[in-house]
């Protein structure tokens, strides 16, 4: 029993010592309970700026003129007289066909013409003589009329022979195939020694005029009507009746150096898609634009001196389509409903709901609640202040 009592006394003593130590440590530290600080959020100060307004239309380039080269006479190709992919001039020779048979045909036609001329000269002399003899009744009237008819026949035969010479000369000229337009020539589909026929279905090559060049853009009828209204009211910059000034953005994002003109007349609606194709003409002196390239036509519009653009990450859309943002107002989180006009790159153009000087939460908004006190701070080294930049209205192509 004495051993058990001793063990209980020992345990009791240890517990008392432990409690005394904790009390002493707590009293000596003098520290109070930790204070919970408000959460920190990154804010952007809304600053309206003057913004250039533009409209972008997706399109593709088309050659200004396309000439498919086909032979107008048949024959064997003797020479190809151009370098594939080079620039050619209107009238420049492209192919030479074997012309020996056409030279012989021309010589035969010229001989027939000479024969017809000799026959005509004889008929003229006979008709003149018989006309004089008929006046003194030296020959019958019938003989005189026959002589005059022979003269007319000889004249007709001379004209037929003359036409034969012209036809033979034209066919001989066709053995040298020339380009009808100036432009860049594509690869040849035939080589020397190939047999070609007149007006064959397959082209020997194609010449495309690339300066100027066309840009065809596809647009909905609704947007077309809006563009026409903007053009009529002066919102779109115009350089001619029914035309608007445009610039081009290339597929790599760069801006093309030359401006063009977009026409809004002479279009028809595609019944299947409800869209129209508008055509622009633009200078291409350096041949940088090639047929089939994807480009975006940028229509210059007015400027908005009080445009408000905010990062898309700061905007929240509900299932019902309501657009909201979080602001810091008097140190507390406030939710506000916005009206969004359009997307501009990775930003939203705000139509209503924000004012200059508003503190927009751009980071940390998912960790706070409406009405909660927060500490607003700048978003680090990344400046969120809005800067003036061209505004591109995204259009579906």
pLDDT means over runs of 10, the chain (397 residues): 56 62 53 69 87 79 94 96 94 96 96 95 92 88 91 95 96 96 94 94 95 88 74 61 79 88 74 82 91 87 77 87 90 90 80 88 86 81 39 41
Check whether residue 77 and residue 162 sit in a common domain. yes
**Which CA distances in Å does 111 have to 102, 108, 170, 178?**
14, 5, 17, 29
Q: Note down the domain range covering 119.
A: 69-196
Query: CATH code at 384?
Result: 2.40.420.20
Check whether residue 371 and residue 337 sit in a common domain. yes
* Residue 19, in any domain of the structure: no
At 397 the pLDDT is 36
Q: Is the pTM of this model over 0.85?
A: no
Are the CB atoms for 334 and 83 separated by under 8 Å? Answer: no
Domain boundary (170, 196, 222) is at 196
Check whether residue 297 and residue 310 sit in a common domain. no
Check whether residue 181 and residue 139 sit in a common domain. yes
At 158 the pLDDT is 95
Domain boundary (145, 169, 196) is at 196
Query: CATH code at 238?
Result: 2.40.30.170
Check whether residue 170 and residue 95 sit in a common domain. yes
**Cα separation of 341 and 337, whole Å?**
13
Domain boundary (262, 288, 303) is at 303
At 382 the pLDDT is 39
Check whether residue 296 and residue 367 sit in a common domain. no
* Residue 10, in any domain of the structure: no
* Residue 27, in any domain of the structure: no
Check whether residue 157 and residue 243 sit in a common domain. no
* Residue 189, in any domain of the structure: yes
Check whether residue 73 and residue 133 sit in a common domain. yes
* Residue 178, in any domain of the structure: yes
* Residue 22, in any domain of the structure: no
At 393 the pLDDT is 41
Check whether residue 188 and residue 93 sit in a common domain. yes
At 384 the pLDDT is 37
At 388 the pLDDT is 38
Domain count, the chain: 3
Q: Are strands 49-69 and 391-393 parallel, antiparallel or unpaired?
A: parallel
Phi-psi region of 130 (alpha: psi -120 to 50; beta: other; left: phi over 0): alpha
Check whether residue 229 and residue 333 sit in a common domain. no
* Residue 186, in any domain of the structure: yes
Query: CATH code at 98?
Result: 2.40.50.100
Check whether residue 86 and residue 188 sit in a common domain. yes
* Residue 316, in any domain of the structure: yes
Check whether residue 327 and residue 255 sit in a common domain. no
At 32 the pLDDT is 54
């Amino acid at each position: 029993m004495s051993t058990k009592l001793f063990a209980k006394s020992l345990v009791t003593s240890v517990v008392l010592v432990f409690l005394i130590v904790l009390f002493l440590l707590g009293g000596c530290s003098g520290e109070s309970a930790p204070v919970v600080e408000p959460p920190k959020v990154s804010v952007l100060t809304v600053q309206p700026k003057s913004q250039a307004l533009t409209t972008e239309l997706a399109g593709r380039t088309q050659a200004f003129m396309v000439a498919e080269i086909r032979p107008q006479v048949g024959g064997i190709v003797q020479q190809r007289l151009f370098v594939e992919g080079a620039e050619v001039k209107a009238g420049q020779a492209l192919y030479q066909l074997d012309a020996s048979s056409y030279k012989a045909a021309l010589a035969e036609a010229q001989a027939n013409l000479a024969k017809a001329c000799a026959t005509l000269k004889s008929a003229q002399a006979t008709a003149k003589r018989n006309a004089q003899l008929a006046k003194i009744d030296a020959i019958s009237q019938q003989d005189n009329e026959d002589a005059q008819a022979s003269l007319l026949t000889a004249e007709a035969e001379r004209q037929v022979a003359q036409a034969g010479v012209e036809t033979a000369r034209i066919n001989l000229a066709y053995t040298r195939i020339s380009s009808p337009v100036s432009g860049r020539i594509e690869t040849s589909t035939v080589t020397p020694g190939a047999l070609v026929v007149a007006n064959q279905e397959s082209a020997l090559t194609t010449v495309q005029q690339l300066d100027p060049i066309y840009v065809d853009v596809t647009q909905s009828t609704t947007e077309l009507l809006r563009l026409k209204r903007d053009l009529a009211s002066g919102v779109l910059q115009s350089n001619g009746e029914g035309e608007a000034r445009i610039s081009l953005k290339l597929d790599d994002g760069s801006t093309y150096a030359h401006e063009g003109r977009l026409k809004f007349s002479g279009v028809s609606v595609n019944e299947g898609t409800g869209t129209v194709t508008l055509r622009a003409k633009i200078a291409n002196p350096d041949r940088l634009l090639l047929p089939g390239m994807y480009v975006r036509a940028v229509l210059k519009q007015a400027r908005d001196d009080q445009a408000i653009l905010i990062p898309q990450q700061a905007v929240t859309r509900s299932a019902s389509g309501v657009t909201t943002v979080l602001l810091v107002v008097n140190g507390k989180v406030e939710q506000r409903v916005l009206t969004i006009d359009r997307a501009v790159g990775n930003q939203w153009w705000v139509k209503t709901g924000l004012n200059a000087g508003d503190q927009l939460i751009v980071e940390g908004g998912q960790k706070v609640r409406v009405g909660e006190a927060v500490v607003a701070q700048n978003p680090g080294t990344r400046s969120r202040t809005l800067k003036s930049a061209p505004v591109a209205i995204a259009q579906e192509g």
